Every structure is written in C-alpha cells, then in structure tokens.
Structure 1
Amino acid sequence: MVSVSWCGRHDGKDALRAQIWRTLTAHNATHRDPVGHIPNFVGAERAAERLAQTDLWQQAQVVKCNPDSPHAAVRLQALAAGKTLYMAVPRLARLQCFVELVAAELHGVSLGEAATMEGAMSHGKLVAFEAMQPIDVVVVGCVAVAMNGGRTGKGAGFADLELAMLRERGLVSATTPIVTTVHDLQVVAAADLPMQPHDWGLDLVVTPSRCLVTENHHPRPGGLDWSMIQPEQLETIPVLQMWSQLRH
C-alpha cells in the first residue's frame, strides 16, 4: 500500500487510489508522478475541449473548479468563454476561500497564465461565500470515477467539503451538475469504488475520448455534516473555525 498524506480514512478507497496511481504510471499516462495527487493526465486539454462542447457547459455562466493541475485546461476554457470562474483556494487556507476570475477583468494578464493555480491566486479576487454568485456547474478533481456517479479524490476530502459548504450557503443545489475530466484509465467498476453518505456523486465524466453521463443516484448532502469534519480540517481551515465558533 502506498502511504501518502490523508491515507487511513477508508481502506477501500486507499487501495483503489494506489491501484490507479500504479496503472497510470505503468502506462505513462501522466505528466508527473501521480502518487498523492489528482493525476495530471495526458490528454487533459483534449478532455477539457470535449467538456466545453457539451450543452451543459455552454449553458453555464458560472463555473466552480478545483485548483489541481489537470484542470488548468478546464479553467482556461471557462475564462475563454467569458464565464465567471471560481477556484477554491488550495487547502481552503484563507478565510475568503475562493478566487473569482473573469476574463474581462484580467487586464494585461494572459488567460493561460490566469488559468494556472499560481496565476489564479496572483490575479484573481479572493471572495467570501457572501460575495459569490450561484454556481451552474461544479468541476471536481478525481483519482477514480465510476459510471454510477462514484468518485474519489486524493483522500483529503476537500471536494466534498467545498460542495457541502457551497450547499450550506445556497450556492449549489440538489440539481447543480457535478462533473470531472479524467483519463480513461481512471474509470473503474462501480463495485470497486465505495461511496459514503458525505460523498457527492458525479453527473458527467469526460475523458479525452468520450463523454459519459453517469447513473448518479447518490443522495446529496444538505450541507455540512460537522460529525465528519476532521480535526486537522478544523485546525487549518479558517472559515470552518469561524463557522464552528458561530455554532456555539
């Protein structure tokens, strides 16, 4: 078993992530060592282009995307199309834990630079939940996905936590589409991908070669489940600390 940060919370998911990382490495399907990361897969740009061709994407005006490297191409597609883009601050390490980017406001900054995680943090505007618009499409990073909507990230729980917080504040709903782009090798059998009550399922999976509409029947959490908050999350995520204090 590969030992990485955040492992040990679910043995089945740990084993699946390790298997996917080994498979991707064996097939030279990533641009860097994927272990411990959302894989920066070969073909990410093509998958982003394929996502951008979907009606779901074209109808969306506001997109939320994760900050991981393979989704820089998705963030670029959003900016190039004139959409409002929200990117989560890595590890939610700021009290204003999202960055807002709009192409028209990036004076003198190339969209390619702004679409990188570093560029977004440098040139975007930090925003609190109260300043955000309702989100039309959410893009999450995944290590493995399944056709029943199952997904797992790298194990830190940030994607599910971000979605729960956005739901808590009315910025995503029970019907907001949740999508991802991955390599074809990251698609696994549903039986191999265990889902938990706090997990958010996927509605659409896009690979460099195909668009896969899932059979997602996982019930969506109505907001934060404080019983699932990890001690290290409460210690390191300022907005959780603030909300926790307001609860008491």
Structure 2
Amino acid sequence: MDINQAKTVIRDRIWALLESENAVPEPGVHGRIPNFNGAEQAARRLATLPEWRRAQVIKTVPDRAQEPVRALALEAGRLVYMAVPRLAAQLPFYEIAPESLGRPAAEAAAKHNIVSTAPQVGVEDMQPVDLVVCGSVAVSRNGARLGKGAGYSDIELGLLQEAGLLSPSTSIVTTVHRLQVIEEPLPEMTHDFRVDLIVTPDEVIRCPAHPRPSGIVWDELTEDKIASIPVLAARASG
C-alpha cells in the first residue's frame, strides 16, 4: 500500500466513525473536512489560550467546522483572512476586517457571506499572520494531520511561508472532534505540515516542535493541480 492509499484508508475510517457515533450534525461527511458536534465549544476553548489572546491576525479555512472560530475572531476585533475555496482565484484570500462587517460577527463569519462581500487579496497585500486555524479529517498527538486529500491547506501555508507572512512564533492549530484524534502515526509527505495545537471540545493537546515546509513543494503537485490554481499557474508559466 502506497502512502496515498494509506491516507485514504485512515480518512475513510474516521469519516465512518464520526457518522456511526453520531458525532456530526448531519451525514454525508465523506470527502469533506467534517463539521462536528461541539465545534462551537472547541472554538471557545481555543479562545482561552494565550496563542489566541496574542494573535491580532488570524488565517482560517472556509470549512463549516471552523465557522465558530471565524465568528469569535471577528467578535474579538481580529483581522481574519480566509482562503478562497479551492484557491480558485488569482487573489486567493478573503480579507475580513472587523470594522467593516456591517452585520453581527456570527453572520459575517458564514462562508457564503464572506464570499459575497469580502474583498480578495493576494499574499503581497496581506499582513503577517499570528495564528493559523486549519481543519482536519484526522490528527495525531504529535501534530501530524490529514485533510480531505486535496492539498489546499498545504498550498495555502506554502504561499504564506514563501511570502514571509509566517514566523517561528506563528502557531498552527486545528479544531476537531475527539474521535478525530488518533494514537497511531499518520503517513506524511514532504508538503504535509504539522500543527502546534489540537483543540477539541474537551481538551487542548500541545504537540512537539517540528520543522515546517519552506514553501510550495512543486515536485509533489500534478500539472492538473497547478493549472487549477491561478496563482500557481501564473508562477509556473512565468
């Protein structure tokens, strides 16, 4: 079994476990970063941590499970960046400034509202990021994680890293259900990043220090993947 097959086996197991244990608000999580019961509690637990209190600029993912994190960040007056779904734009991030919301933070944090109202920016126009919040399908206690398999979070971090927007003090966190935290090692490739913190509704797990990818790992991207992401396609053709 190769590494991609091994990842698929673990994802399928976790998706099935979440559904069989009624840990998700609705079925149909296969192929997605799962929304999970307790996502709001996990977000509130994250908001008690010193890494959160220090952060003024937070980068998040578009997934529904992290919507409560976006809402709390905006409510607290943080500048929030959210990746354009599938990075399918030349300007691959949305910038959500709390002073320009014009609606309650809980509404402003919904993906459809961000997509329809927030301005898009390129990495050259972004501020340095203090905290990165990502979604996961599975995560191990040493910080290794699996996303849904499309690789967008890895590319997002690669773009930010190459632009000098991440520093050694930037914390990377994932919010998940306890059933998504596994004890076994997870298969990893060169482009895979690890998280510093895992936050569930009931627990905060601090992961050991680890090196991060220095940027985009081009050798692990297919031509089709590069062509589907405008900012990468422009670099490849340049």
Task: Give the TM-score of the pair, scaled to structure 1.
Answer: 0.92
Contact 2:60/2:66, CA 8 A, preserved across alignment: yes
Alignment of 1:29-108 (within 5 A): 29-32=23-26, 33-107=28-102
Q: Give the drift of 1:230.
A: 2.2
Root-mean-square deviation over aligned CA pairs:
1.3
CA distance in 2, matches of 1:215, 1:243: 34
Query: Once the two structures are aligned, what percentage of the paired residues are identical?
Result: 44
Q: 1:142 touches 1:180 (CA, 8 Å); kept in 2?
A: yes
Distance 1:9 1:122, change over 3 A: farther
1:210 has 2:214 as partner: no
Relative to structure 1, is the Cα distance of residues 197 and 174 closer, same or farther in structure 2, using a 3 angstrom cutoff?
farther
For the pair 1:111 / 2:105, whether they are aligned, the reply is: yes
**Following superposition of structure 1 onto structure 2, how do residues 114-193 of structure 1 map, counting pairs within 5 Å?**
114-191=108-185, 193=186
Which is further off, 227-236 or 194-203?
227-236
Deviation at 1:174, TM superposition (A): 4.0
Residue type matched to 2:109 in 1? A
Structure 2 segments unaligned to the other structure (5+ residues)? none
Letter in 2 for 1:86: Y
SS of residue paired to 2:81: strand
Question: Any idea what SS the aligned residue of 1:10 has?
Answer: helix
1:9 to partner: Cα distance: 7.0
1:141 is displaced (CA, Å) by 0.9
C-alpha deviation, 1:169, in angstroms: 0.7
From the superposition, tell whether residues 9 and 96 of structure 1 become closer, same or farther in structure 2 (CA, over 3 Å).
farther
Residues 106 and 123 of structure 1 are in contact (CA less than 8 Å); yes or no, is this contact kept in structure 2? no
Aligned with 1:225 (options 217, 222, 226): 217
1:194 corresponds, among 187, 191, 211, to: 187
Identify the range of structure 1 (234-243 vs 149-158) with the bigger mean alpha-carbon deviation.
234-243
Name the CA distance, whole Å, in 2 between partners of 1:157 and 1:199: 8
Give distance in 2, aligned partners of 1:175 and 1:152: 23
CA distance in 2, matches of 1:113, 1:161: 28
| Separation (CA, whole Å) in 2 of partners of 1:194 and 1:216 | 18
Would the aligned equivalents of 2:60 and 2:134 in 1 still touch at CA under 8 Å?
yes
CA distance in 2, matches of 1:129, 1:185: 34
Deviations 1:38-86 (A, max 9, x none): 0100000000000011010011000000000010000001100100000
Question: CA offset at residue 226 of structure 1?
Answer: 1.2
Q: Give the total of aligned pairs.
A: 236
Distance 2:194 2:75 in 1: 27
TM-score (norm 2): 0.96
